Structure 1
C-alpha cells in the first residue's frame, strides 16, 4: 500500500485526519475530571493534537492551521486555563512556539508562569524526578513515561526560547532519571511507571503507548534541544535498543499490541502510529540503522488500514492510568481520540517526506 500511494493521496488523508480531529466528541460518558476526547478542552490529548497541527503548519506553511491554533488558544485562555500539572502542561509546548512567532505577550507570560511551576513547584520524586501529578491525582512518588512527552519537552523548549540553560539541564536530568527507573534492561523497552513508595513497577506493564511517548518524543526533543553529544548518543542508543525490541514484537499487521509482550492484548493504533513516526524520522535523520526502515513502513501500512474513508482513526485506546493489574490494560475501551488522529497526522507528514526523498 505505502509503495503505491502518492504524496497527493497522503495529503488527502491528512486533510481528513485534521477535520475529524476537530469534530471528535465522546462516544460514552467520560469519567475523567476534564474531558479528553473533544478538542474544546484543555488537557494532554488536546496538547498532543495541537503540537501535531503546529508541526504540520511548519512543514507546509499552511497559514489557516496557524490561525486556527491561535483561535484555539485565545478561546481557551478567555475561558480560563486549568490548574497546572504534568498533563495540563502539554498544550504549552505549542503555545511556546506561537508566543515566539506572534510576539503575543499574553502567550509568553503564560509560558513563563507554567515553566516556573515545572521548575519550582511541581512535586518531585526521589532523585528529583517530576512526579506525575495530574488533575485530582497526586500520584505521590511516581514516575510515568508519559511525563517526558507531556512536560519535559516544554521545559526544554522554554530553555531554548528564554536562553535559560538551567531549563535545558533539567530536561536532560528528567530524561536520564526516567530512563534509569523505567527501562526494562532485559528488553530495552520501558515500563509504564515506577513508584519510590515500595520501589516497584506496579503490574510491570510494557505498555505500548507509554513506550511510544519515548519513540515519538525523542526525535522531536532532539530537534528542540541542543544537547551535549554524549547525552544525545545515550538517548539515541536507548531508542535503537527499544526499536530492536519493537521489531521482534511487531504483529504481522504492522501494528503492536497494547501490552507489547502479550499477544492476547489487542492491537493499538495510536502507539503504532507513534512508533512508526519515530522510527521513520529516526532513520531519515540518521539516528538509527536504516534496516529499521522496513519496520516503520510495515507499521505505516498497518496504520493506514485503521483509517476509515472519513479520516477517523480506529483501534485507539482511551486514556490509561498506571495500574498493578495487566487486565486493566487489556480492558481499556477503544474509541477515536485526538492523539490517535494527531500521531497518525505526524506519521503521514513523515511518509510524505519519505516519498519525496525515496521515490
Structure 2
C-alpha cells in the first residue's frame, strides 16, 4: 500500500512538473507573424507592411518564394519597410528584414543563390539592406557581402560608351530598370566607403540613358536601349525599344530621387540629375489619368487592352512626393502624388476580412528579348500577366504612403 501511495505521489509530482514545463514553454514563444492584427486606424504604410508580414511570415517568402533567394523584389519591399521603421519604430520590422538577410548571407560574406558571374544588375539592389545591419552589428560578414556586390559593379560589363549592361546575357543593353537596381546601392557604398569618388560614374549612367532613351516628342523614356542596335526589338536608327512602359519609367524616377540622397548640393552633377527628374516628371504628368493613375503603356491611354496599372502609379507617387519634399521638384507635384495615391486606395485596393489589404492590377513582370522572346510591342505589355500585391507595387506603395504621411 505504502509503495502504491509513493508511486502515485511521484506520478502527481511528475505531472505537475510536466504541466509547468510545457506552460512555461508556450508563454516564452515569440508571437508569430501569422498572429499579426491589422487595425483599421493604421496608416497605409503599416497596413501594407503588416499584411505582407502576415501573408509571408518569413521575409524570403515574399513573392511566394518557396526557398530563400537573393532577389530585387525582396530588396525593394524590405527597403520600404526599413524606411517605415524610421517613422514607426516597431521592433517587428527590423527583425523581419534581418531574418531575410541572415537566411542568405553566409559567415564568409558569400550570398546564397547569388551568382556574380551572371553580372545581373538586378541582384545588386538588395545590398541596400546590408548598410544598416552592418552599422548595428559590426559583423564582418555583412561588410564582405557589400564588398562582393561592389565587386560586381567594378566588373560589370559596359557598353562602349560606359553604361552598365543589364545582364551578361543582354550585351550592350541598358534598361531603365537597371538604374534603380544598381545606382542607389552604388551611391551609398561610394559615399560610405570611398569618400564619394564614384559619384561621377553614377551620374554617367543617368546621362547615357537620358541621352539615348528619351523620346524627343513626348519627353518619355523608352524601356530599353541597345547601343549595338543589334536586337530585333531595337530601333535601327536609335537603338531604343518600341514602347513606354510605366513601371520602367517608375524605376527610373525612383532611382533619381534615391540617388540624389548621396549627391551633395555642390556636386557638379547634382543639378543635372535634378534636371532629369524634372524633365521626366513633367512629361509623365501629361499622361496622368483623371483617376490619378497611369496606364500600363504610358502614352496609349484608353487603347484596347491597356489598363490603369498599380506599380508604375505607386512609383510615380513616391518619386513625385519625395522629389517635392526634398525640394527637387516644384511643390505642386505633392498634389499630383496625393491624387495618384487616392487613385490607388480608391480604385485598386481591396480590404480583406482580416484587415489586410490587397493592391490589384499590377503587372507581374515584363522585359525585352530573352527566351521566350519578348518583342516590346504594345500587345506584349498589355498581355503580360497581373499579380495581386506584386512586390513591385507594394514596396513603392509603402514608400509613397510614407512620403505623403497617409
TM-score norm. by structure 2 comes to: 0.76
- Say what the alpha-carbon RMSD is for the aligned residues: 2.3
Q: Cα offset for 1:36?
A: 7.9
Q: What is the alpha-carbon distance in structure 2 between the residues aligned to residue 344 and residue 241 of structure 1?
A: 23
Matching of residue 75 in structure 1 with residue 103 in structure 2: yes
Q: Cα offset for 1:340?
A: 1.1
Kindly indicate whether the alpha-carbon contact (under 8 Å) linking 1:187 and 1:242 is maintained by their aligned counterparts in 2.
no
Kindly indicate whether the alpha-carbon contact (under 8 Å) linking 2:69 and 2:112 is maintained by their aligned counterparts in 1.
no
Q: What is the alpha-carbon distance in structure 2 between the residues aligned to residue 24 and residue 108 of structure 1?
A: 31
State the match for 1:152 in structure 2. Answer: 183
Q: Cα offset for 1:184?
A: 1.8
Q: Cα offset for 1:260?
A: 0.7
State the match for 2:138 in structure 1. Answer: 103
Q: What is the alpha-carbon distance in structure 2 between the residues aligned to residue 332 and residue 273 of structure 1?
A: 19
Q: What is the alpha-carbon distance in structure 1 between the residues aligned to residue 247 and residue 172 of structure 2?
A: 21
State the match for 1:236 in structure 2. Answer: 274
Matching of residue 130 in structure 1 with residue 152 in structure 2: no
Q: Secondary structure at the match of 1:161?
A: helix
Q: Cα offset for 1:9?
A: 6.7
Q: What is the alpha-carbon distance in structure 2 between the residues aligned to residue 53 and residue 11 of structure 1?
A: 15
State the match for 2:63 in structure 1. Answer: 37
Q: Secondary structure at the match of 1:308?
A: strand
State the match for 2:224 in structure 1. Answer: 193
Q: What is the alpha-carbon distance in structure 2 between the residues aligned to residue 185 and residue 329 of structure 1?
A: 22
Q: What is the alpha-carbon distance in structure 1 between the residues aligned to residue 181 and residue 366 of structure 2?
A: 14
Q: How does 1:225-264 map to 2 (within 5 A)?
A: 225-226=263-264, 228-263=266-301, 264=303
Kindly indicate whether the alpha-carbon contact (under 8 Å) linking 1:24 and 1:38 is maintained by their aligned counterparts in 2.
no
- TM-superposition CA deviations, 1:290-332 (whole Å, max 9, x none): 2223211210101112121121111110121023422111111
Q: Cα offset for 1:221?
A: 1.2
State the match for 1:86 in structure 2. Answer: 121
- TM-superposition CA deviations, 1:209-255 (whole Å, max 9, x none): 11111222211211134364442211112211222222211111110
Q: Cα offset for 1:24?
A: 5.7
State the aligned residue count.
334
Aligned with residue 206 of structure 2, among 140, 156, 175: 175
Aligned with residue 50 of structure 1, among 72, 78, 94: 78
Q: Cα offset for 1:334?
A: 0.9
TM-score norm. by structure 1 comes to: 0.86
Matching of residue 223 in structure 1 with residue 264 in structure 2: no
- Alignment gaps of 5+ in structure 2: 1-38, 230-235, 369-374
Report the CA distance shift for 1:202/1:349 in structure 2 as closer, same or farther (over 3 A).
same
State the match for 2:386 in structure 1. Answer: 334
State the match for 2:350 in structure 1. Answer: 308
State the match for 1:266 in structure 2. Answer: 307
State the match for 2:377 in structure 1. Answer: 325
Q: What is the alpha-carbon distance in structure 1 between the residues aligned to residue 337 and residue 252 of structure 2?
A: 15
Kindly indicate whether the alpha-carbon contact (under 8 Å) linking 1:22 and 1:38 is maintained by their aligned counterparts in 2.
no
Kindly indicate whether the alpha-carbon contact (under 8 Å) linking 2:200 and 2:269 is maintained by their aligned counterparts in 1.
no
Q: Cα offset for 1:76?
A: 2.0
Matching of residue 276 in structure 1 with residue 317 in structure 2: yes
Report the CA distance shift for 1:116/1:166 in structure 2 as closer, same or farther (over 3 A).
farther
Larger mean CA deviation between 286-295 and 262-271 belongs to 286-295
Q: What is the alpha-carbon distance in structure 1 between the residues aligned to residue 159 and residue 62 of structure 2?
A: 26
